[in-house]
Amino acid sequence: MKWFTGVKNVQELKKQHKDLLKLYHPDSKYGRVEIAQEINEEYNKVLEMLNRRK
């Protein structure tokens, strides 16, 4: 994992996802479509893993 290391629960994941997209959204100063897509793909994978633990 590149973007969501150390995330322990869904709440932490959602907060980190929101913070990352604020920085890397294509409409922001440092954002690019490729980075936002990468973040979203990893978010979905981690979310699925965390939901399976329940």
pLDDT digits (tens, 9 = 90+) for 17-51: 999 999 999 999 889 999 999 999 999 999 999 99
Q: Look at the chain and report how many structural domains it folds into.
A: 1
Q: Does residue 20 form part of some domain?
A: yes
Q: Which of 25, 5, 26, 27 is nearest to 16 (CA)?
A: 5
Reported confidence tier of residue 3, pLDDT bands at 50, 70, 90: very high
Q: Does residue 38 form part of some domain?
A: yes
> For position 40, what pLDDT does the model report?
98
Q: Does residue 5 form part of some domain?
A: no
**Both tokens assigned to 23:** 């920085």
**Rounded distance, CA 35 to CA 9, Å?**
23
Q: Which residues form the domain of 38?
A: 10-53
Which residues does 12 contact at the CB level (< 8 Å), separation at least 6? none
pLDDT at 16 over 80: yes
pTM for the structure as a whole = 0.90
> For position 48, what pLDDT does the model report?
97
